[in-house]
Amino acid sequence: MTDEALIDLVGVNKWFGPLHVLQDVDLSVARGEVVVVIGPSGSGKSTLCRSINRLEPIDSGSIIFDGQPLPAEGKALAKLRSEVGMVFQSFNLFAHKTILQNVMLGPVKVRKEKTAVVRERALSLLERVGIASQAEKYPAQLSGGQQQRVAIARALAMQPKALLFDEPTSALDPEMVGEVLDVMTSLAKEGMTMVVVTHEMGFARHAANRVVFMADGQLVEQAPPAEFFANPQSDRAKDFLSKILTH
Amino acid sequence: MNVLIDRFDVFAGGFWLTFQICVLAAIGALVLGAVVAVLRISPVPPLRALGTAYVTVFRNMPLTVVMFFAAFGLPVLGSNADFLRIPVLDQVFTRLGTDLPYFRFALIALVLYTAAFVCEALRSGVNAVSPGQAEAARAIGMTFTQNLRFVVLPQSWKACIVPLGSVIIAMIKNSALIGFFGVVGDLSQSADQLTSAEGFAFVPVAIGISIGYLIMTVPLGALLDRIERRQAVAAR
């Protein structure tokens, strides 16, 4: 872990109407760090994750990415988003494009890279996530786990500086969770900067550099995983862990 | 019923004129409606407001009133819609080029009115695309235009082709109102000429006119049904 922060949130506040979903959140993510955000439903974890590439605009505070404050609108914002990959709970693969086209679309249209170059990179990424044989199929023909791995390949094709995962395994059948987590674990090992919102405590334990616990819009506690799971400091975190770890 | 055969030329002439104005109005309304739809879904609030205002005005005003505004308002503003005398096009659609501007006024009214409905049909298609698709496109750094062009619109046309067809069918029938302009001489005005000026019985004339409209609308409706059925198969 280096000390230079790639993502830096300072005093971030966000309301959905009267609901204060993010309350004075400060979070700094170093280059190459893997931060896993956990917490009960409705605690603001997803909103936090989505605010980092401004899919959710924030109401106050500041978010710095790679030394630059997040642009508010337009081309500058699009450029920033192209440098931050995002993987969604519901995959969101482009339904009218093949798997290969899904992975190639961003680099070709957004980055204006040469099709031949992108094609090669896309195929090797699909190879890497284990779906090269399905390249010409459409998303609906793949299982959830396969679709999510394609979504990861699509994000990687943009060669992002960081990856955001918004509950990437929550919509998957249990038997498919492992294949997605395997891909994520190998990315973490290679030093990709990752912010992962998840309920997979196993992944948090073995792949995270740091676990961040959120509740009611506040960042309650953060610690290395071994420390957090063995010895949570706050009552809220103790309560949460007791509920999920007893079964 | 002899009127149908004896005065076939009047029916044919009216049909031909109605057909021309419908083709032109359909093209105009699709283009303008697409522009308004883009305004309505754009991320820029003033543009959105403009699009919404347009739809609110033209969707909620009777077509007759829009036509009155075109016929009496445009001349007051000093326009006789000469900008519609488009070279080449006014050779094909000779009425565009004539000195009496009523055909052009009627065309403008029909386009303005129908575009509001086209906009809503297109927008319903865009709304049928799951929001996650647009979100994923934004997340890989696409601009609004790229998002529409590569991700949202290619998926939305399937959902809007049928409502769009209904809008065009309604427009063909609405075109009967251009008889207000008197001198235009469209299909429904044939009735006026044959019954009041020439004294033919009304019912046979009305039957002839109905046939004229059905020739335009029924094939369009059948085409839409076919597209819809094909989509139902394609949707697994």
Judging contacts by C-beta atoms under 8 Å, the chain A residues touching residue B140 are 81-82, 85-86, 105-106, 110, 154-155, 158
Using a CB-CB distance cutoff of 8 angstroms, which residues of chain B are in contact with residue A92?
130, 132-133, 135-136
Looking at residue B233, what is its pLDDT? Answer: 65
Asked whether residue A57 falls in the same domain as residue A12, the answer is: yes
In this prediction, residue B101 carries a pLDDT of 77
Could you tell me the CATH number of the domain that includes residue A227? 3.40.50.300
- CATH number of B68's domain: 1.10.3720.10
B87 Cβ under 8 Å from any chain A Cβ:
no
Residue A209 in any domain: the answer is: yes
Residues A62 and A106 in one domain: no
Mutate to test the interface with A, among B140, B146, B236 (most CBs of A within 10 A): B140
Work out how many domains chain B is built from and give that number.
1
Which parts of chain A register pLDDT below 70?
A: 1-3, 246-247
**Residue A158 touches partner B, C-beta closer than 8 Å:** yes
- Which domain-ending residue is among A137, A160, A183? A160
A74 neighbourhood in chain B, CB within 8 Å: 143
Which of A103, A138, A160 represents a domain boundary (last residue)?
Answer: A160
Tell me which amino acid residue B49 is.
A
Quote the minimal CA–CA distance from B155 to chain A in Å.
7
Q: Which domain holds residue B162?
A: 2-234
What tokens were used for A212? 């961040």
Domain extent for A34: 1-74+162-247
A96 touches chain B (CB under 8 A): yes
CB contact under 8 A, B139 and A78: no
Give the pLDDT confidence score for residue A181 in this predicted structure: 92
Q: CB atoms < 10 A from the CB of B204, how many? A: 15
Count of domains for chain A: 2
If asked whether residues A136 and A67 sit together in one domain, one would say no
Cβ <8 Å between B139 and A94? no
C-alpha distances in Å from residue A153, one per residue of A142, A223, A233, B151: 14, 30, 37, 18
What is the block-wise mean pLDDT of chain B (236 residues), using blocks of 10 residues? 79 87 93 94 92 96 91 82 76 72 87 96 91 94 92 87 92 86 70 79 87 92 87 61
- The answer to whether residues A148 and A168 belong to one domain is no
In a domain, A80, yes or no: no
Backbone CA torsion sign across A164, A169, A171, A176: positive
Nearest CB to A88 within list B136, B142, B154:
B136
Domain assignment present for residue A88? The answer is: no
Q: Are residues A167 and A203 in the same domain?
A: yes
Q: pTM for the full model? A: 0.78
Give the per-residue pLDDT at B236: 45
Instruction: Give residue A244's pLDDT.
Output: 81
With beta carbons less than 8 A apart as the criterion, state whether A28 and A5 touch: yes
| Domain end residue (candidates: A138, A160, A182) | A160
Q: Look at residue A151 and tell me if it is in a domain.
A: yes
| B residues 137-166 lying closer than 8 A (beta carbon) to A | 137-143, 146, 150-151, 154-155
* Whole-Å CA distances, A122 to A27, A69, A127, B144: 33, 30, 8, 24
The answer to whether residues A152 and A202 belong to one domain is no
Alpha carbon distance A194, A33 (integer Å): 6
- pLDDT tens, A172-231? 888 889 999 999 999 999 999 999 999 999 999 989 999 999 999 999 999 999 999 998
From B100, B122, B115, select the one nearest B25 (Cα to Cα).
Answer: B115
In this prediction, residue A183 carries a pLDDT of 92
B140–A90: do the CB atoms touch at under 8 Å?
no
In this complex, the residue of B133, B143, B236 whose CB is nearest that of residue A92 is B133
